[in-house]
Copies of this chain bind each other. A is one copy, B any other.
Amino acid sequence: MATRLSDVAARAGVSVKTVSNVINDYPHITAHTRAKVEAAIADLDYRPNVSARSLRKGRSDFIALAIPEMASAYFAELGAAFSRAAKRRGITVLIEQTEGEPAAEQMVLDGMRGQLIDGIVFSPITSSQAKISAAVGSGKPIVLLGERTTGGTFDHVAVDSVQAAYDATTHLVSLGRRRIAAIGVGGGGASGTGAVRRRGYRKALKAAGLPHDPALELAGTGYHRLDGAASMRALLELPEPPDAVFCFNDLLALGALRTLADAGLSVPDDVAVVGFDDIEDGRYHSPSLTTISADKDWLADQTVALLLERIAGSGEAARRNLTVPYTLEIRESTAG
């Protein structure tokens, strides 16, 4: 029914091999032949069947990006960046929402899409490295996103969260703040975002000679606005509330800002606030949000490049860790 390669060949008066050569940009084709084939393709409105190509070649030029949720600003922006990065390289990214559910993450690891995808970029929440190692049944290359846990056996791309958290906290110290709270110390699941960023936070306090008060470390249940708002409320009820808060992502910070606004407190005068992620909402919020800004386009581009390298087959090469560059963006929430 649909026009096939052989139809094009017939119309152009060449062999299927020649048509295939033209489509795949192989050399040794005269301009004349190429023109004939291209005319036939245009005439017949022919488009190659990617299922057939993929079946034959064992490659689909599809990669999967498995993230917890795509509606959440950070991951939405990340997904967009991956989508663009993949397109630049002529491949397509398939976005999988795991919703942080173990079953969905397991499906990803089980090599979902039965051979359709060439490789996976995976941002795990509930799956530990060990679980991932055990479960990679697909044999497909996989690159992990997110906090780097020790002893990982996979390629990995991440921000140096300890250093970034250190920088964020030190910035608050430099403003003269002395009771600096942390929100989100329990979050991030097995990927350990909470634990890793807390390490940097504590390190900065110690370096500044500030006491470490466990009452100022809030775990919360998630990494969304509601969690940040609730944690901030809890902090305000303390006998000695904080004069600054480092939130482990921007959504937590935006929630905290909401609580502070409702309480009639001034930011940054009463409480300074720093986030992490640099999502668009924070940039335009009033007050705008000081935050750790990792380069999402760099991240996406390098990750795709690394994955494609693995797909191409440098399987023997050693595991690679990429560290994403970041900056501390100082805005109104810490700088009046």
Contact = CB atoms under 8 A, between A and B. Distances in A.
Interface residues of A, number: 49
Contact of A79 (B54, B70, B229): B70
A97 B80 contact: yes
A313 B286 CA distance: 52
A134 to B, nearest CB: 12
A296 to B, nearest CB: 9
B97 A95 contact: no
Contact of A55 (B51, B139, B255): B51
A4 to B, nearest CB: 11
A198 B109 CA distance: 49
Contact of A47 (B70, B114, B254): B114
Contacts of A47: 110-111, 114-115, 138
A294 B116 CA distance: 35
Contacts of A76: 70-73, 76, 79
Contacts of A54: 51
Interface in A114-143: 114-116, 137-139
B137 A45 contact: yes
Interface string A42-62: 000101111110110000100
Contacts of A280: 71, 225
A281 interface: yes
A71 B77 contact: yes
A87 to B, nearest CB: 8
A277 to B, nearest CB: 13
B2 A115 contact: yes
Interface stretch (A11-19, A147-155, A230-238, A257-265): A257-265
A90 B54 CA distance: 22
A83 B97 contact: yes
A94 interface: yes
A113 interface: yes
B116 A50 contact: yes
Contacts of A83: 70, 95, 97
Contacts of A284: 225-226, 229, 254-255, 258
A167 interface: no
A60 B51 contact: yes
Contacts of A51: 51-52, 54-55, 60, 115-116
A69 interface: yes
Contacts of A92: 94, 113
Contact of A50 (B95, B97, B114): B114
A84 interface: yes
Contact of A113 (B50, B114, B138): B50
Nearest to A260: B286
A84 B104 CA distance: 12
A52 to B, nearest CB: 5
Contacts of A262: 286
The list of the 7 closest CB pairs from A to B, nearest first, reads A76-B76, A71-B80, A51-B54, A51-B55, A47-B114, A261-B286, A225-B284
8 contacts: A47-B114, A47-B138, A49-B55, A50-B113, A50-B116, A73-B281, A79-B95, A229-B284
